[in-house]
Amino acid sequence: MTRHFNRLTEPEQERLAILVEECGEVIQAACKILRHGYESTNPKAITPEDENPETNRAALEREIGDLGHAVARMEKAADINPLAIRARAASKPARILPYLHHQT
For residue range 33-60, what is the model confidence (pLDDT) as tens digits? 999 999 999 887 766 666 789 999 999 9
Domains (ranges, CATH) in the chain? 10-99 (1.10.287)
- Mean pLDDT in the chain? 93
For residue range 16-39, what is the model confidence (pLDDT) as tens digits? 999 999 999 999 999 999 999 999
Of the candidates 54, 59, 52, 53, the residue with the CA atom closest to the CA atom of residue 30: 59
Looking at the chain, how many residues does it have?
Answer: 104
CA atoms within 13 A on the CB side of 6: 6
- Burial group, residue 15, by CB count within 10 angstroms (0-12, 13-18, 19+): buried
Mean pLDDT computed over 70-88: 98
